[in-house]
């Protein structure tokens, strides 16, 4: 889902997005409550509060069954079509709680005996509004009210969590508390992440990023490594996120600033939200068609109506890297004469390897294959991590001070 005007995809940032970024810059971010961070970081507390009853076959059994059903599909398939989504939902055996009374945003939400009360709206997209709700006994939850009552985000996220269980990305994926289907909407409850989005942080750091300040080098390398590592894990499991961008990344406290990744290569500081456009490639190995209307994040194949697969995320990673490097959206040429998509102006800051970075952008924006790109992503992840690890102790401490101050820790 996107705030973008659907006709505006050549404009790198829609008016609504611009306004929101400016608001984020002006008003700053939610303050950190240490108890909430603990809640947000743990699955177990919330697992016990799930209202959905799961009796699913294992992910691999589901895949075999479903790939049989879609094996017949001819030509590029729209992964967001109701037919394709419904087909998968039928195979997933996820039991959803449903109510026959309408849900109103100011209503309280009850999750296994805990009552949460509406506080404020924290985000709004084309198809959903997100609210912060608070319990009388302390602790917040995020309540995402989706205009369509279809539980696809909940279903695919359940699948993703199962697939990433025990990997270094386990804690970097939105946790689920419950999903309830109402006649007028779907209501998904998740932990509330108090530290704001990566986009907010980039917006705040924009004056430094725009002037190519050398002090931002650790920040850029650190988040480049985390975002790429997230895609390595997702694509490694044949999952496409489909709406990969800094406003869909919530910030988390970072345990270890000495090296890019934590214990056993754990991804740090980020949690991916907004899974409503995610695609399970395990069930269909052919090409996809269809567009996602996220302004400035639409890959060349979508713009030119060509088949695509992982390009949607690779392109979005390139755009995200541009935002964390320059604090702004990229100006892109979708060339009409060649297949290449290029950046119209790209002056890599001089404290980065100027031979390497244009090639990073170029290869992410112009991936020509329908094969899984995970090996290419691994190389980039390792490059970013090595560059971060090679920074001086002082540079890392400086980043640590600023990040902790931003999170108000
Ligand atoms: N669990 C959460 N904790 C705190 N804030 C959240 C949470 N989930 C969402 N938000 C805020 O709400 C915004 C919108 O959420 P989300 O991306 O899930 O909805 P959306 O309607 O799909 O939005 P968009 O169309 O802008 O992508 C996020 O960018 C974030 O600022
Ligand atoms: Mg979003």
Domain locations in the chain as residue ranges: 1-409
pLDDT in tens, 153-197: 999 999 999 999 999 999 999 999 999 999 999 999 999 999 999
Question: What pLDDT is attached to residue 187?
Answer: 96
Of the two residues 401 and 291, the one the predictor is more confident about is 401
Which residue did the predictor score with more confidence, 44 or 98? 98
Judged by average pLDDT, the poorest of 50-64, 83-97, 241-255, 344-358 is 50-64
Helical (H) or strand (E) element with 205: helix 198-210
Residue 145 has pLDDT above 70, yes or no: yes
Q: Which residue puts its alpha carbon closest to atom 18 of ligand 1? A: 274
Spacing, Cα 93 to ligand 1 middle (Å): 27
Q: What is the topology classification, in CATH, of domain 1-409? A: Transferase(Phosphotransferase); domain 1 (1.10.510)
The single-letter DSSP state of residue 373 is -
Query: Is the CB of 273 inside a 6 Å radius of any atom of ligand 1?
Result: yes
Q: Is 144 annotated as belonging to a binding site?
A: yes
pLDDT value of position 222: 98
- Is residue 193 within 6 Å of ligand 1 at its C-beta? yes
Task: Please count the other Cβ atoms lying within 10 Å of the Cβ belonging to residue 336.
Answer: 6
pLDDT category of residue 23 using cuts at 50, 70 and 90: very low
Q: What pLDDT, on a 0 to 100 scale, did the predictor assign at position 92?
A: 84
249-251/186-191 β-pairing: unpaired
**Which ligand has its closest atom nearest to the C-alpha of 14?**
1
248 CB near ligand 1 (under 6 Å): yes
Residue 68 reports pLDDT greater than 50: yes
pLDDT at 43 > cutoff 60:
no
The preferred substitution site among 19, 123, 185 for testing ligand 1, maximizing ligand atoms within 8 Å of CB, is 123
* Ligand 1 nearest atom to the CA of residue 146, by list position: 21
For atom 29 of ligand 1, the residue with the nearest CA is 247
What is the C-alpha to C-alpha distance for residues 129 and 391, in angstroms, rounded to an integer?
41
More confident call, 32 vs 337: 337
Q: What is the pLDDT of residue 69?
A: 61
| Nearest-CA residue for atom 31 of ligand 1 | 123
Q: Which of 36, 192, 273, 320 to mutate to test the pocket of ligand 1 (most atoms within 8 A of CB)?
A: 273
Q: Given pLDDT bands bounded at 50, 70 and 90, which one contains residue 1?
A: very low
pLDDT at residue 36 is higher than 50: no
Task: Render pLDDT for 272-289 as a digit per residue (tens, 0 to 9).
Answer: 999 999 999 999 989 999
Q: Say which ligand is closest to the CA of 17.
A: 1
Higher local confidence (pLDDT), 337 or 158: 158
Residue 62: the pLDDT is: 66
Supply the pLDDT for residue 44: 28
Give the long-range contacts of residues 255-262, CB within 8 A, separation 24 or more: 257/396, 257/397, 257/399, 257/400, 257/403, 258/396, 259/385, 259/388, 259/389, 260/221, 260/222, 260/225, 260/226, 260/384, 260/385, 260/388, 260/389, 261/168, 261/225, 261/229, 261/385
Centre of ligand 1 to C-alpha 88, Å, is 24
For residue 343, what pLDDT is reported? 86
Place of tokens 């001819």: 74
Of 90 and 319, the structure prediction assigns the larger pLDDT to 319
Q: Which residue has the tokens 């992964």?
A: 79
Q: Is the pLDDT of residue 320 over 70?
A: yes
Give the nearest ligand 1 atom to 273 CA. 18
Question: Which residue owns the Cα nearest ligand 1 atom 2?
Answer: 192
Q: What is the pLDDT of residue 121?
A: 96
Cα 146 to ligand 2 centroid, rounded to whole Å: 12
Interval 17-33 mean pLDDT: 28
**Pairwise pLDDT comparison (260 vs 58), residue with the higher score:** 260
């Amino acid at each position: 889902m996107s705030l973008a005007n659907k006709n505006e995809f050549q404009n790198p940032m829609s008016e609504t997005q611009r306004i929101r970024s400016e608001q984020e810059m002006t008003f700053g971010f939610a303050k950190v409550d240490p108890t909430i961070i603990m809640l947000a970081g743990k699955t177990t507390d919330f697992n016990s509060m799930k209202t959905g009853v799961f009796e699913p076959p294992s992910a691999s059994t589901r895949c075999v069954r479903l790939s049989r059903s879609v094996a017949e599909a001819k030509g590029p398939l729209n992964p967001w079509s109701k037919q394709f989504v419904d087909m998968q939902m039928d195979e997933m055996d996820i039991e959803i709680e449903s109510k026959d009374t309408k849900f109103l945003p100011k209503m309280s939400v009850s999750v296994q005996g805990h009552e949460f009360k509406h506080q404020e709206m924290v985000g709004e997209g084309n198809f959903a509004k997100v609210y912060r709700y608070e319990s009388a006994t302390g602790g917040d939850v995020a309540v995402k009210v989706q205009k369509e009552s279809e539980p696809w985000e909940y279903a695919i996220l359940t699948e993703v969590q199962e697939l990433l269980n025990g990997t270094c990305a386990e804690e970097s994926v939105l946790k689920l508390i419950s999903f309830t289907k109402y006649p007028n909407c779907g209501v998904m409850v998740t932990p509330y992440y108090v530290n704001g989005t990566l986009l907010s942080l980039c917006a705040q750091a924009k004056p430094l990023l725009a002037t190519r300040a050398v002090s931002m080098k650790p920040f850029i390398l650190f988040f480049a490594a985390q975002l790429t590592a997230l895609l390595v894990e997702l694509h490694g499991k044949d999952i496409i996120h489909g709406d990969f961008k800094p406003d869909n990344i919530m910030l988390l406290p970072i345990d270890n600033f000495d090296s890019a990744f934590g214990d056993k290569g754990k991804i740090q500081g980020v949690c991916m939200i907004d899974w409503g456009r995610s695609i399970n490639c395990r069930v269909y190995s052919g090409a996809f068609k269809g567009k996602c209307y996220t302004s400035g994040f639409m890959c060349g194949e979508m713009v030119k109506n060509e088949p695509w697969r992982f390009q949607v995320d690779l392109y979005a990673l390139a755009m995200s890297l541009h935002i964390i490097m320059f604090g702004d959206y990229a100006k892109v040429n979708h060339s009409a004469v060649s297949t290449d998509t290029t950046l119209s102006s790209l002056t890599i800051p001089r404290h980065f390897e100027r031979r390497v970075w244009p090639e990073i952008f170029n290869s992410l924006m112009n991936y020509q294959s329908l094969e899984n790109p995970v090996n290419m992503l691994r190389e980039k992840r390792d490059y970013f991590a090595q560059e971060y690890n090679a920074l001086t102790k002082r540079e890392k401490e400086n980043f640590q001070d600023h990040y902790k101050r931003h999170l108000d820790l």
